[in-house]
């Protein structure tokens, strides 16, 4: 077995992107539930962001 060079990352670096995606999703859900008009547009954008991140990750992993 080969030995891998393990570099430990701080928790802030590990969870930064998942936390940002979570916060954008929460903003989208709250804006969808609390109003109409421009909040509908905000909710569409905010709720599409996690889907776009997932699509990007799947595509990046494939190559």
Quote the CA–CA distance of 10 and 2 in Å, as a whole number.
25
What is d(CA 25, CA 47) in angstroms, rounded to the nearest whole number? Answer: 5
The pLDDT value given to residue 1: 47
The torsion angles phi and psi of 10, rounded to 5 degrees, stand at: -70, 155
**Residues 14-51 pLDDT 10s:** 999 999 999 999 999 999 999 899 999 999 999 999 99
Full-model pTM = 0.73
Query: For residue 10, what are the CA distances in angstroms to 3, 15, 34, 48?
Result: 22, 9, 36, 29
Mean pLDDT score across all residues of the chain: 89
């Amino acid at each position: 077995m080969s030995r891998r060079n393990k570099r430990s990352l701080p928790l802030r670096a590990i969870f930064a992107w998942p936390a940002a995606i979570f916060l954008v999703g929460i903003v989208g859900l709250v804006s969808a539930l609390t109003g109409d008009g421009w909040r509908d547009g905000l909710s569409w954008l905010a709720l599409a962001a996690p889907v776009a991140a997932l699509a990007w990750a799947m595509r990046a992993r494939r190559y």
